[in-house]
Homo-oligomer: A and B are copies of this chain.
Amino acid sequence: MTKMSDVAALAGVSTATVSRVLRNPETVTETTKQKVLEAIEELNYQPNMLARHFRRSQTNTILVVVPNIINTVFAEIVGGIEEEASKNGYRVLLRNSNNQIDREYGSIEHMKQRQVDGMIMLSPRLDEEILQDISEKYPIVLATAHLDETKIPVVSIDNVSSSKKATEHLIRLGHRRIAHITGQLDSMISRYRFKGYREAMKENGIDYDTQLIREGEFTFESGYEQMMNLLDQKFPPTALFAASDEMAMGAINAAKSRGVNVPEDLAVVGFDNIRFSSVFDPPLTTIAQPKFGMGEKAMELLMKKFNGEPVEQTEHILPDELIIRDSCGARLKEKLIRT
């Protein structure tokens, strides 16, 4: 491995000058710069990054903590982060937390040891206070999260209003017995989506039946199971708002297995607009989160923190969108009206 002193020797300058050519070219005359550049070329020199990182105690690496990379929602967000990071010369270290709090802790230790310059946590489980403490000393950004009163930058969509929008869409289609399958209720996101549902119902003067609320786990299987429960009830729902597309798909399959037609007998709206929602039969009506964009935005905010720029607002709400496909019956209705 050629090192800086080799370059310096060949170019007939000191290592300080070589270093300057590399990092502050404007402080060096054109002629010496050329000499050094030629020597670098000649020797095929590559700076030892480990030495640089050590000396500057900076790694140009960020840590992304994901509950589970296998989940397509997180994978897309990570895609956005990686894209934006590599634009800025940063590298992305990936860590699956598997929703375990101690793994999240471990990741924070990692940052405390300065092994990374900052971190982005997706759907953190850690207490708000703990996160707050860390954020005072280290650059951290959260995504798909919501904290009540805090200075930590958060990138998210408005889960309450979007869920409200989804539920209202079903109400507008004439439904009153609207079921809701939530995600794990120990997660903020699930509670916010549930809240949006309640608000929509209330504002439209509908007393919702608590029997129609079921807690799932954001998976197909849980959606399937909970829908089976709902269909077993004396007065089954005529519509469903599921807190994730996966659960919506599971629920629809449960309905199909019972001969219940979607959307004719059961209108369904999901959440996330995952890649497969448009291909599913029937294509899902759902709330689209700008997943890739959220990743990019999170990384942007982290870059601001790195550069010492102020991050004006702490909460960055990106726009969501209700995507109407077939599972809610709106298109079917339109067609019927037209004919």
Contacts and interface: CB of A to CB of B under 8 A. Distances in A.
Nearest to A71: B75
Interface in A40-54: 46-51, 53-54
A57 to B, nearest CB: 6
Q: Quick one: which of A50, A68, A76 has the most chain B CB within 10 A? A: A50
Given A49-B115, A50-B114, A79 B70 contact: yes
Count copies of this chain in the complex. 2
A141 interface: no
Majority SS of interface residues in chain A? mixed
A70 B61 contact: no
A288 interface: no
A112 interface: yes
B54 A82 contact: no
Contacts of A54: 48, 50-51, 53-54
A321 interface: no
Interface stretch (A14-22, A30-38, A85-93, A208-216): A85-93
Contacts of A70: 72, 75-76, 79, 275
A320 interface: no
Interface string A77-118: 011001100100001111110000000000001001111000
Contacts of A220: 278-279
Contact of A75 (B51, B72, B83, B113): B72
A69 to B, nearest CB: 5
Given A70-B76, A75-B75, 7 more contacts: A50-B50, A50-B59, A53-B54, A69-B69, A91-B93, A220-B278, A281-B281
Nearest first, the 9 A-B pairs at minimum CB distance are: A54-B54, A281-B281, A50-B54, A75-B75, A94-B94, A276-B276, A49-B115, A70-B79, A82-B96
12 contacts: A48-B54, A49-B113, A49-B115, A68-B79, A69-B75, A70-B75, A70-B275, A86-B95, A94-B94, A249-B279, A253-B281, A256-B281
